[in-house]
Amino acid sequence: MQGTYLQKWLSKGLDGVKRKKGGPMKAALKNASVATVAVMLIGSFMAGCASMPIVEPTAQEAAAARQYKKTVAIVGLSESGSSIEGVGQLVLGRIEHLLVGRFNLVERGNMNAILAEKGITGPVDVTNAPEVGKILGADYLVFAGVSASIAGPRLGSSRSRKGGDKFFGYLWDEYCCESEVSLKIVEVASGAIIYSDAKKGLSTSQSNQENFKEEGLFEKAYRRRSTATQILRIAGALGKLSNEYSMMVSQSIEQAVNGFTYDMKNKFAQSGEILQILSEQDVMINIGSAFGIRNGDTLIVWAEGAPIQDPRTNLVTVPKTQRGTLKVIQVNSGLTCIARGSKNTISQLRVGDKVSTH
């Protein structure tokens, strides 16, 4: 995945000046190098930051919310083939942040000991997921994978004339990190894969910028930097990378994991009900930060119809009709939030009406 995209990135170039075929830019791209860091993770995003501070749930609130949420276990971590140690832990932390609040998380520190007591010491996969999930008391098992690549340097240049004959020229090196994080969730009760997708992240970094006010010096520096052999050197561990590269890798991975936020809200919706009508536009709802609710989240109010039984399967369904949407304006606690809607929507609502994130 990364190789194809990054090769296109290298071949595209940043040159802001039209040049003849076979010119210095072609030589610069030919000499650019690609350093690929492959990292494989098996286990389980950083939620989007709200503009207001997040109200963390108290221990009592978190305990009260547990009974209303599903439990997930992130099963395993592998960095085989990676030339940068520690990237797997970075991704794992991001994914834990994605899941916390929406689910109860099985403590990873105790997971291996619990499984070892039951004689399970090998890798966890889809085939033994039901058995492992029951042992861990989990409703879902989460698997993930991540790959990250760094390409560069690619020579970028720009030149222009302003105020008549005034020349301005710029040269710089640019690096690009592309990452892809995949996420797979298995339902323990059925052993079925209920969610599987991959998201990409991209981050760039610039360095070694030179500014020129004389066109001749600009052209000379351009030829020199175009033909020079440039090699990207990567340390053996993430902590040893320069701050420039470490930040670029971190931002790319974070962007990829953030891509799952919408899916998690839709696939694994949190639900509650209206506790109180506060004003013509505001209501209080009994879900808060302990359920992963954040300022700015959209909530849907539903009207439930009479239960209907399917004569063929004997399954009973309760039809729902959307009555309106609300926006969370304040998370009061782990268990409550205040949401705002139009006057028309609020006028139709009653205490006890059902609300969900999807």
Q: Under a CB-based contact definition with an 8 Å cutoff, are residues 209 and 193 in contact?
A: no
| Span of 72-86, 261-275, 293-307 with lowest mean pLDDT | 72-86
The partner residues of 185 in beta bridges, in order of sequence, read 142, 195
Percent of the chain topping pLDDT 90: 40
Q: Under a CB-based contact definition with an 8 Å cutoff, are residues 226 and 23 in contact?
A: no
Give me the pLDDT at residue 79, please: 64
Q: Look at domain 269-356 and name its CATH class.
A: mainly beta
Residue 41 pLDDT more than 60? no
Residue 22 pLDDT more than 90? no
Give me the pLDDT at residue 45, please: 32
> Looking at this protein, which amino acid is placed at residue 276?
Q
Predicted TM-score (pTM) of the model is 0.73
Tokens describing residue 51: 């503009």
Give pLDDT tens digits for 214-271.
Answer: 999 999 998 888 776 454 445 556 666 667 678 888 898 899 999 999 899 889 989 9
pLDDT range class, residue 116, cuts 50, 70, 90: confident
Q: What's the CA gap between 340 and 353, in Å, rounded? A: 15
Q: Under a CB-based contact definition with an 8 Å cutoff, are residues 351 and 297 in contact?
A: no
Q: Which residue has the tokens 């590269």?
A: 245
Contacting residues for 61 by C-beta, under 8 A, at least 6 apart: 288, 290, 333, 334, 335
What average pLDDT does this structure show over 22-29? 35
Give me the pLDDT at residue 43, please: 36
Residue 325 pLDDT more than 90? yes
Domain borders along the chain are 2-264, 269-356
> Looking at this protein, which amino acid is placed at residue 265?
K
Give pLDDT tens digits for 49-59.
Answer: 434 567 888 99
Tokens describing residue 76: 């395993």
Q: What's the CA gap between 176 and 196, in Å, rounded? A: 27
Q: Is 68 exposed, middle or buried (0-12, 13-18, 19+ CB in 10 A)?
A: middle
What average pLDDT does this structure show over 164-179? 86
Q: Under a CB-based contact definition with an 8 Å cutoff, are residues 167 and 215 in contact?
A: yes
| Span of 97-111, 221-235, 317-331 with lowest mean pLDDT | 221-235
> Looking at this protein, which amino acid is placed at residue 106?
V
What average pLDDT does this structure show over 298-324? 89
Residue 174 pLDDT more than 50? yes
Give me the pLDDT at residue 176, please: 85
Higher local confidence (pLDDT), 204 or 5? 204
Give pLDDT tens digits for 122-166.
Answer: 778 888 888 999 999 999 999 988 888 777 778 888 988 877 788
Tokens describing residue 308: 């209907």
| Average pLDDT in the chain | 80
Residue 72 pLDDT more than 90? yes
Residue 25 pLDDT more than 70? no
Q: Is the peptide bond before 130 cis (omega within 30 degrees of 0)?
A: no
What average pLDDT does this structure show over 205-221? 89
Per-residue 3-state assignment (H helix, E strand, C coil) for the chain: CHHHHHHHHHHHCCCCCCCCCCCHHHHHHHHCCEEEECCCCCCCCCCCCCCCCCCCCCHHHHHHHHCCCCEEEECCCCCCCCCCECHHHHHHHHHHHHHECCEEECCHHHHHHHHHHCCCCCCCCCCCHHHHHHHHCCCEEEEEEEEEEEEEEEEEEEEEEECCCEEEEEEEEEEEEEEEEEEEEEECCCCCEEEEEEEEEEEEEEEEEEEECCHHHHHHHHHHHHHCCCCCCCCCEHHHCCHHHHHHHHHHHHHHHHCCHHHHHHHCCCEEEEEEECCCCEEEECCCHHHCCCCCCEEEEEEECCCEECCCCCCEECCEEEEEEEEEEEECCCCCEEEECCHHHHHCCCCCCEEECC
Residue 293 pLDDT more than 50? yes
Residue 30 pLDDT more than 80? no
Give me the pLDDT at residue 177, please: 84
